[in-house]
With several copies, the nearest count.
Chain A
Amino acid sequence: MITLKYFASLKTIAGKEEERLDVGSETTVQKLSETLLQSSPQIGEMIQGKKVMVSVNQDVADLNTVIHDGDEVAFLPPFSGGSL
């Protein structure tokens, strides 16, 4: 089981903040995005189109990053901290 986290505008798009997903013992960001294309097409497209950043265990990831059982994967829209 891995944990998926959605932030900011993605929470509204995904309709949730967090979900748990069984992906077996190992997968990749690319494969996860393909899975999501079924369940949350908009999110899956944003990942593949690099409209959102993906992190695995709080580290920035790319499509080839390997995801292990127990990992925390987060979908991060463009940041806007810092006030201006």
Chain B
Amino acid sequence: MRTIMESKVRIQREDFSVTGEIEAIKKSSRNIGGITVFLGTGRELSKGENISKLNFEHYPKMAEKKLEELRVKAIEDFKIIDMSIIHRIGEIDIGENIVLIVAAGEHRAETFKACEWAIAELKRTTPIWKRETTSTGEVWVQATP
């Protein structure tokens, strides 16, 4: 049980496969009719500045704990079947995957709501920080809207 729970919430350096995560969550139930996925990727432009790369750092243990709390609350509050959350850390290039949230449910409405809530809540409560490298240097991003 514990290994299954942990595998649905991960913070890792390596990239992930969206198809792979979807197929993993499909195994939770034969009654999944809708899956909403949010994928955050590294974009080139930030507040008018060109970014050459991104770097993510997290507070180990606390970040994983927050993601697991978030997952459990999303499943309960939105009555979805399952959710997985993966966030990458370390160096990320433009266009690369950063964060993935997969929300699976019987119908689509609740999966959209759960997924959108989860990414907003992740940003608000999970100790992960982003450093942007631009032509003028490196800067920790202090607040994102």
Q: Could you show 19 A-B contacts with beta carbons less than 8 Å apart?
A: A5-B59, A8-B129, A8-B140, A55-B127, A58-B59, A74-B62, A79-B123, A79-B127, A80-B129, A81-B87, A82-B144, A83-B33, A83-B34, A83-B41, A83-B130, A84-B34, A84-B40, A84-B106, A84-B108
**In contact, B140 and A77 (Cβ under 8 angstroms):** yes
**In contact, B59 and A74 (Cβ under 8 angstroms):** yes
Q: Which of A8, A77, A79 has the most CB of B within 10 A?
A: A79
- B interface: dominant SS: mixed
With A5-B59, A55-B62, A77-B142 known as contacts, the answer to whether A84 contacts B107 (CB < 8 A) is yes
Residues of A within 8 A of B131 (CB): 8
**B79 proximal to A (CB < 8 A):** no
**B78 proximal to A (CB < 8 A):** no
Residues 48 to 68 of chain A near chain B (Cβ within 8 Å): 55, 58
**In contact, B33 and A7 (Cβ under 8 angstroms):** no
Q: Measuring CB to CB, which residues of chain A are less than 8 angstroms from any residue of chain B? A: 5, 7-9, 55, 58, 74, 76-84
**In contact, B124 and A79 (Cβ under 8 angstroms):** yes
Nearest residue, chain A, Cβ from B56: A81
Nearest residue, chain B, Cβ from A53: B127
Residues 16 to 39 of chain B near chain A (Cβ within 8 Å): 33-34
Nearest residue, chain A, Cβ from B60: A58
Q: Which of B62, B65, B140 contacts A80 (CB 8 A)?
A: B140
**In contact, B130 and A81 (Cβ under 8 angstroms):** yes
Residue-wise, chain B 103-117 has the 8 Å CB interface mask toward A (1 for contact) of: 000111000000000
Q: Which of A7, A55, A83 contacts B57 (CB 8 A)?
A: A7
**In contact, A82 and B57 (Cβ under 8 angstroms):** no
**In contact, A84 and B33 (Cβ under 8 angstroms):** yes
Residues of A within 8 A of B41 (CB): 83
Nearest Cβ on chain B to A53's Cβ, whole angstroms: 8
**In contact, A76 and B59 (Cβ under 8 angstroms):** yes
Residues of A within 8 A of B141 (CB): 80
